[in-house]
C-alpha cells in the first residue's frame, strides 16, 4: 500500500483520536473506544515503520501513540469507589474477558490433579514420583487425627505467624505461575501442571491412608480462594505468553505491554484472594474445636460464592468513568 493510500485510509481515525485527546472527552465523543483505537494506532505505526514511510508521518503517529498511551495508562485518582468497583465488578469482568485462557489454565491444573489423585489412591507408591519420602511423611503428620493442631506445625502455636507464612507461600506460588508466562507461556504451563500433580497426589494419598476426617475439612474452606487464585495466576501468565507467541501485527514488546495490562487486572484480585485464603487457613481451617460438619458446610458455601462471584458479579455494571464495559455493549 502506498503512503498516500495508507494516510487516506486512516486519517479520519487519527483526527478523531487527536480531537478526543485534546478535548479531554468533553465534546460528546465519549463513545470512542480508546483501548481499541490505541491498539489500532500501534499497528499502524508498526506498519509505517516497516514500510519506511516518511519521517513526518512516523513522527506524527509516534506522538499520537505516546499521547494515547498516557491516557490509557494514566493513574486514576485513588477513590474508594474505584476499588469498590474493582472488587464488585472489575475483577470478575476481567476474568470473564479472558474466559478461554481461564478454562485452559483450569484444565492444565485439574486434569493432572485428577489423574494423579486417582492413581495415588489406588497405588501407594505413585506419590513418590512427585514427592520425596520425607515430604510424604510430613503431609501424613500434618493431617494425622491425633494432632492437637491441623496443617503445618506451629513453632509457637501462633496463628498469626502461620498467617504470615501462608501469605508468603501462596503468593510465591502464584507469582511464579504468573511470571512463568514470560517464557512464552511455558513456565505458566509447567507450574500449573506441576502444582496439579502434587495436589492430586496429596489428595489421593491422604484419602488412601484414611485421614479424610481431618484433611477435607481443613482444605475445603481456604481451597475455594487458594486454588482458584492459582488457576487465575496461571491464566494471567498464559495471557502474557500468548502475546509473545502470537503478537499479531504488533511488535512483541507492544503486544506484551498491552497483555500485561489485561493480566494485572486479574492479578490484583488474585493477590487479594490469596490473602483471604491465608487468613482462613491460619484461623479457621486449622481449628480443631469446630465441628467437621460446620467446616464442610461453610467450605461448600464458599465454593458456591466464589463460582457465583465470577459468573455473575459485575454484569451490566459501568466502569467508574461511566463507560460501559465491553461485555455489556452487545446488550445495549
If pLDDT is split at 50, 70 and 90, which confidence band does 222 have? very high
Q: What percent of the chain has pLDDT over 70?
A: 86
Question: Closest Cα to residue 86, out of 74, 75, 94?
Answer: 94
Q: Tell me, what's the pLDDT at 80?
A: 47
Q: 314 in helix, strand or coil?
A: coil
Q: Tell me, what's the pLDDT at 325?
A: 55
How many beta carbons lie within 10 A of that of residue 238, not counting itself? Answer: 29
Task: Please state the domain extents for the chain.
Answer: 3-73, 80-320
Q: Tell me, what's the pLDDT at 332?
A: 34
Relative orientation angle of helices 212-245 and 159-179, to the nearest 10 degrees: 30
Count of alpha carbons within 13 angstroms of residue 322, beta-carbon side: 4
Mean pLDDT of 15-28: 69
pLDDT exceeds 60 at position 323? no
pLDDT digits (tens, 9 = 90+) for 292-310: 899 999 999 999 999 999 9
pLDDT exceeds 50 at position 175? yes
Cell of 54: 516518511
pLDDT digits (tens, 9 = 90+) for 40-75: 888 888 888 888 899 888 888 888 888 887 776 654
pLDDT exceeds 70 at position 87? yes
281/275 Cα distance (integer angstroms): 10
DSSP class of residue 288?
S
Q: Tell me, what's the pLDDT at 141?
A: 85
20/258 Cα distance (integer angstroms): 21
Q: Tell me, what's the pLDDT at 143?
A: 85
Q: Are 222 and 285 in contact (CB under 8 A)?
A: yes
76/319 Cα distance (integer angstroms): 12
Across the chain, mean pLDDT equals 85
Question: Closest Cα to residue 29, out of 38, 20, 39?
Answer: 20
Amino acid at each position: 500500500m502506498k503512503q498516500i493510500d495508507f494516510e487516506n485510509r486512516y486519517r479520519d481515525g487519527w483526527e478523531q483520536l487527536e480531537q478526543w485527546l485534546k478535548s479531554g472527552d468533553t465534546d460528546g465523543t465519549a463513545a470512542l473506544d480508546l483501548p481499541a483505537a490505541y491498539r489500532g494506532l500501534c499497528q499502524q505505526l508498526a506498519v509505517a515503520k516497516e514500510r519506511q514511510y516518511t519521517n513526518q508521518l512516523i513522527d506524527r503517529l509516534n506522538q499520537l501513540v505516546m499521547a494515547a498511551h498516557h491516557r490509557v495508562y494514566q493513574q486514576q485518582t485513588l477513590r474508594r469507589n474505584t476499588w469498590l468497583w474493582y472488587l464488585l465488578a472489575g475483577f470478575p469482568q476481567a476474568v470473564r474477558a479472558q474466559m478461554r485462557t481461564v478454562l485452559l489454565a483450569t484444565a492444565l491444573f485439574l486434569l493432572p490433579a485428577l489423574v494423579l489423585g486417582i492413581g495415588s489412591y489406588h497405588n501407594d507408591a505413585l506419590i513418590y514420583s512427585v514427592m520425596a519420602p520425607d515430604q510424604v511423611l510430613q503431609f501424613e503428620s500434618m493431617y494425622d487425627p491425633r494432632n492437637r493442631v491441623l496443617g503445618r506445625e506451629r513453632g509457637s502455636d501462633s496463628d498469626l505467624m502461620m498467617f504470615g507464612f501462608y501469605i508468603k507461600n501462596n503468593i510465591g506460588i502464584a507469582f511464579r505461575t504468573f511470571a512463568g508466562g514470560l517464557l512464552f507461556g511455558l513456565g505458566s504451563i509447567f507450574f500449573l501442571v506441576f502444582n496439579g500433580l502434587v495436589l492430586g497426589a496429596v489428595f489421593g494419598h491422604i484419602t488412601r491412608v484414611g485421614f479424610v476426617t481431618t484433611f477435607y475439612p481443613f482444605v475445603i474452606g481456604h481451597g475455594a480462594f487458594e486454588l482458584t487464585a492459582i488457576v487465575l495466576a496461571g491464566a494471567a501468565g498464559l495471557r502474557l505468553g500468548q502475546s509473545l507467541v502470537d503478537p499479531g501485527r504488533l511488535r512483541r514488546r507492544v503486544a506484551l505491554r498491552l497483555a500485561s495490562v489485561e493480566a494485572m487486572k486479574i492479578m490484583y484480585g488474585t493477590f487479594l484472594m490469596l490473602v483471604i485464603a491465608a487468613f482462613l487457613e491460619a484461623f479457621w481451617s486449622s481449628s480443631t474445636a469446630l465441628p467437621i460438619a460446620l467446616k464442610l458446610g461453610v467450605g461448600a458455601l464458599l465454593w458456591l460464592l466464589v463460582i457465583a462471584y465470577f459468573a455473575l458479579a459485575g454484569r451490566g455494571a459501568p466502569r467508574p468513568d461511566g463507560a460501559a464495559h465491553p461485555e455489556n455493549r452487545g446488550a445495549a
